[in-house]
Amino acid sequence: WFIRAGDIFSEEWNHESGAPEVEITDSFFVGDHPSQGPYDQMIYWLDAEMGGGTSSGSLTLRDHNSASALTRQWGSGAKESGNLGTIPYPSGDYTLTITQTGDSYIRLVVAGGLTNSWEL
């Protein structure tokens, strides 16, 4: 099998200052692959690292029907590095909400994927 992919979204949030809670909302649209038609999945790469004390963070990705496609919460000292996963059947518009408190870092990369398979 083979996955043909195209970049959709890439962002990182570095909240080193240890300031009070911050909430960030962003959105993106999942269109078609430039030459192959609609994507059949999204592939994500996720990194997160929370400092000590009261540091924490969360990430919620919802589709246009408000269904949660990806949800994460991290407490003080938590670390998630290089987490790779898929979200089946992308559905157009997505809204991303990130919250961060204290010393925290979150990075998310999303690509659209077309799965091709064959038998020999």
Q: Does residue 72 belong to any structural domain of this protein?
A: yes
Query: Is the pLDDT assigned to residue 95 strictly greater than 80?
Result: yes
pLDDT at 19: 67
- pLDDT tens-digit series, residues 6-52: 889 999 999 887 667 888 999 988 888 888 888 889 999 999 999 99
Domain span at residue 52 reads 2-115
Token pair of 58 as six digits:
């969360």
pLDDT at 18: 67
Number of domains in the chain: 1
Taking the model in full, what pTM does it have?
A: 0.86
What CATH number is attached to the domain comprising 31? 2.60.120.1540
Q: Does residue 120 belong to any structural domain of this protein?
A: no
- pLDDT tens-digit series, residues 45-82: 999 999 999 899 999 999 888 888 999 999 999 999 99
Query: Is the pLDDT assigned to residue 103 strictly greater than 70?
Result: yes
Query: Is the pLDDT assigned to residue 4 strictly greater than 90?
Result: no
Instruction: Please name which of 29, 45, 32 lies closest in space to residue 6, comparing C-alpha atoms.
Output: 32
Token pair of 118 as six digits:
């064959």
Q: Does residue 44 belong to any structural domain of this protein?
A: yes
